Structure 1
Amino acid sequence: MSEPPPGTPELHVVRRRRPVTSAELLPAERAQLAKVWQPVDLDDVLLDEENEVETAEVVDGHGTLRYRLYGWNYGGGYLFPPDGLEPVASGAQHDMEHRSAGQRPLFAAMDRALKAGGHGFQQPLHFCWENDACWEGLT
């Protein structure tokens, strides 16, 4: 598939940061990252330069916050809604996991947003949307 699937939203990665303490995070970011890293203390994770935790916001074409993107060394990544503790997508070893066929437009949008560049997000997360084999068997 070369053309993005129908319903692919326009998304942009903005406001990339590299926090080193939880005090630098917004309350939603702090809650989401604490859940991801539990039971390890979030400040210990952020302070450890080996992790290189990154945060970014994902906005639509109107600038409305749609997602929060997190990444760190060794290919860890999460995509969360603006608020809440249930991730929309997560992955390890740089590949975001496919959970349902309904994610395909979102994965296409995230792939395009990350490839657009200029946002500063450095963790190379892969949102595979173009390979049909990634989506076979998902409902």
Structure 2
Amino acid sequence: MADLGPPGLRIVRRKRPTTSAELLPAEREQLANVWRPAELDAVLGDEEYEVETAEVVDAEGTLRYRLYGWNYGGGYLFPPDGLEPVASGAQHDFEHSNARQRPLFAAMDRALKAGGHGFQQPLHFCWEDDACWEGLQDT
């Protein structure tokens, strides 16, 4: 079985914003990059999407990632700032793009399963299935 990744990632400060005014500047920028800026308030205000945001912190409480999820299984994991996602998912499963992601996927899987954070979107970071990682480069 693969390395279980960095211990201690936790999901904190989960919220369900209904307007872009409820977002931090980095959240607003990242979500506007996912949806066109003109659509962001419409998406956030639409109960059908149920967009959730959360921060992912390490054992010391340092912000490491921003997690976003919404109905229909969409999700993104971004760094604290910037527009390049670390990982993205559709149909509830985060996609494997390089072998170096595996420890992070293990840590995110543990963080989501830990509970108590309030994040409700059923997102899955598959790390344990070797078949998912076969043939991927370390880039």
TM > 0.5: yes
Question: Which residue, out of 23, 26, 45, partners 1:25?
Answer: 23
- The residue aligned with 2:79 is 81
Which structure 2 segments of 5+ residues have no match? Answer: none
2:129 to 128, 131, 137: 131
Stretches of structure 1 that go unaligned for 5 or more consecutive residues are none
TM-score normalised by structure 2 residue count: 0.95
Judging changes above 3 Å, is the alpha-carbon distance between structure 1 residues 91 and 40 closer, same or farther for their aligned structure 2 residues?
farther
Structure 2 counterpart SS, 1:55:
strand
Pair 1:15 & 2:13 matched: yes
State the Cα deviation string for residues 31-65 of structure 1 (Å, max 9, x = none).
00000012651000000000000000000000000
Q: CA RMSD in A?
A: 1.2
Look up the match of 2:32.
34
Q: Which runs of 4+ in 1 moved over 2 A?
A: 6-10
Look up the match of 2:65. 67
Distance change in 2, residues 1:50/1:7 (3 Å): closer
TM-score (norm 1): 0.95
User: Is contact 2:108-2:125 (8 Å) kept?
Assistant: yes
- Contact 2:5 2:107 survives alignment (8 Å): no
Could you say what secondary structure the match of 2:53 adopts?
strand
